[in-house]
C-alpha cells in the first residue's frame, strides 16, 4: 500500500460508510481479533461496521468483546448476504484468496462489486482486492491492523475493546510472543495495547485456562498417537473421527496440538492429521522450525498453504492413506529437513 493509496483510503473513511469485515473459515484468534478490532475502531469513527465470518467462533474466544454481533455466513445466511449487499467497503482480513472462506461465502465475495481492502500476512496474495496491504514478515494480521490504524492517523481511537481484540490476535498468532516473527516492534505495540486497556493477564487466562476435562483427555490421546521420525526430524499426530467423538470434540479443541511435535529437541517439522467425516476431508496442520517452508510443502502436496513456518492443508483420501502419502513425500525432503534448523 503506497502513500497515495493510504490517502485514498483516508478519504474513503472520512465520511460514514457501510463496512463489512470478513475473515477465513474456521477463524482463529488473529482472524477474529482483527475483524472485531477493526469493527470497534470503525464504529468509533462513525461507520456502520459488521463482521461476517464463514462459520462459528471457537469456544475459547467467545469472551472477546463484540463476538455476539458477528454474523456467521453458514447459520445467519440472510443477514450475512444482506450485509455484503449493502456494503460500500469490505475489509478482507487474515486471508488472501477467496477459496479460504469456503464454497458458499466464496461465491458471495466473488460477486461483490464494491471496494475491497485487504490486510493480510499470508504468502502469495491473489489480486482480489483494490487495495492490498500484504506483508508476510509481520507476525499477525492484528499487528497489521494496528499499523493500519496508525497510517490513518487514528491511534487515539484505540480503546480497551480494540486493544483487547488486537492483543488477542497478536498473542495467538505468535504462540504467546515466542515465534521468530515476534519483533521488538511487536513487543512495543503490545506495550501500547496494554496501556490502552488490554488486560494482558486476563486475556491469557481467558484463552489458555478454559479447557474442558474432555479436551485434556483428547490431548492425551493425541500425544499418545505422536509418531517420531528422527531421520526426517519430523513428528506427527493423527486423530480419527472415532477418537474425536470419544472425547466429545468441540471446535477449537485441537488448536495448538500440532506444536507439541516441535517441542521435542531435534524436531523441525510437525504435522497433525485430523479426520472430519462430515466434510469428508482430513484437515492437516504443518509447523516447522527454520528454513523448511511448510507453505511450499503444503501447496505442493496437500492443497494448502499459509506461512513458511505454519501452514494448513487438506486431503480427500482416508486418514491412513493421507499419512502414507505424507511419509512418501517426506522422502524427497530428507536433505532439506536435515539442515532446516541449527539446535
> Is position 311 an interface residue for ligand 5GP (rule: CB under 6 A)?
yes
- d(CA 153, CA 157) in angstroms, rounded, equals 9
Residue nearest to Mn ion as judged by C-beta position:
30
Cβ-based nearer residue to ligand 5GP, 72 or 122: 122
- Out of 47, 115, 173, 287, the only residue in the binding site for Mn ion (CB under 5 A) is 173
Q: What Å distances lie between residue 125 and 97, 133, 203, CA to CA?
A: 6, 10, 31
- Out of 30, 161, 255, 308, the only residue in the binding site for Mn ion (CB under 5 A) is 30
Q: Count CB neighbours of 140 within 10 A.
A: 29
> Is position 94 an interface residue for Mn ion (rule: CB under 5 A)?
yes
Q: At what angle do helices 103-111 and 77-86 cross, to 10 degrees?
A: 20
Specify the pairing of strand 234-239 against strand 227-229: antiparallel
Write out the DSSP string of 88-142: SEEEEES--SGGGG-HHHHHHHHH--SEEEEEE-SSS--S--SEEEE-TTSS-HH
Rounded to a whole number, what is the largest CA-CA distance in the chain? 60
Q: Site mask, ligand 5GP, residues 260-289, x = CB under 6 A?
A: -------------------------x----
Q: Which does 196 bind (CB under 5 to 8 A by kind): Mn ion, ligand 5GP, none?
A: none
Q: Which does 72 bind (CB under 5 to 8 A by kind): ligand 5GP, Mn ion, none?
A: none
Specify the pairing of strand 131-134 against strand 227-229: unpaired
> Is position 275 an interface residue for Mn ion (rule: CB under 5 A)?
no
Cβ-based nearer residue to Mn ion, 94 or 161: 94
Cβ-based nearer residue to ligand 5GP, 37 or 312: 312
Helix (H, G, I), strand (E, B) or coil at 212: coil
Judged by CB under 6 A, the stretch of 78-86, 185-193, 209-217, 298-306 that binds ligand 5GP is: 298-306
Residues forming contacts to Mn ion in the complex (CB under 5 A) are 30, 94, 141, 173
Residues forming contacts to ligand 5GP in the complex (CB under 6 A) are 24, 100, 122, 285, 304-307, 310-313
Amino acid at each position: 500500500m503506497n502513500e497515495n493509496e493510504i490517502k485514498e483510503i483516508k478519504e474513503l473513511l472520512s465520511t460514514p460508510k457501510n463496512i463489512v469485515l470478513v475473515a477465513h473459515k474456521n477463524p482463529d484468534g488473529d482472524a477474529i481479533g482483527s475483524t472485531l478490532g477493526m469493527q470497534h475502531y470503525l464504529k468509533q469513527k462513525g461507520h456502520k461496521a459488521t463482521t461476517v465470518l464463514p462459520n462459528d467462533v471457537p469456544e475459547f474466544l467467545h469472551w472477546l468483546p463484540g463476538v455476539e454481533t458477528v454474523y456467521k455466513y453458514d447459520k445467519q445466511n440472510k443477514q450475512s448476504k444482506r450485509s455484503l449487499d449493502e456494503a460500500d467497503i469490505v475489509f478482507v482480513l487474515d486471508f488472501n484468496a477467496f477459496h479460504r472462506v469456503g464454497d458458499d461465502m466464496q461465491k458471495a465475495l466473488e460477486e461483490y462489486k464494491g471496494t475491497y481492502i485487504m490486510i493480510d500476512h499470508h504468502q502469495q496474495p491473489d489480486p482480489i482486492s483494490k487495495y492490498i496491504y500484504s506483508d508476510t514478515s509481520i507476525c499477525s494480521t492484528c499487528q497489521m491492523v494496528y499499523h493500519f490504524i496508525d497510517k490513518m492517523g487514528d491511534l487515539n481511537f484505540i480503546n480497551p475493546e480494540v486493544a483487547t481484540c488486537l492483543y488477542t490476535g497478536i498473542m495467538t498468532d505468535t504462540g504467546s510472543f515466542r515465534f521468530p516473527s515476534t519483533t521488538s516492534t511487536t513487543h512495543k505495540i503490545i506495550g501500547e495495547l496494554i496501556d490502552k486497556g488490554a488486560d494482558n493477564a486476563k486475556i491469557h487466562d481467558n484463552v489458555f485456562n478454559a479447557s474442558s476435562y474432555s479436551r485434556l483427555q483428547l490431548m492425551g490421546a493425541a500425544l499418545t498417537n505422536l509418531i517420531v521420525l528422527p531421520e526426517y526430524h519430523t513428528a506427527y499426530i493423527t486423530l480419527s473421527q472415532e477418537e474425536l467423538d470419544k472425547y466429545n470434540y468441540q471446535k477449537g479443541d485441537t488448536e495448538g496440538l500440532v506444536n507439541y511435535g516441535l517441542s521435542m529437541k531435534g524436531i523441525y517439522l510437525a504435522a497433525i492429521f485430523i479426520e472430519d467425516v462430515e466434510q469428508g476431508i482430513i484437515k492437516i496442520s504443518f509447523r516447522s522450525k527454520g528454513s523448511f517452508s511448510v507453505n511450499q510443502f503444503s501447496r505442493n502436496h496437500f492443497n494448502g498453504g499459509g506461512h513458511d513456518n505454519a501452514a494448513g492443508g487438506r486431503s480427500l483420501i482416508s486418514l491412513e492413506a493421507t499419512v502414507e502419502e505424507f511419509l512418501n513425500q517426506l522422502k524427497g525432503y530428507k536433505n532439506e529437513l536435515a539442515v532446516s534448523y541449527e539446535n
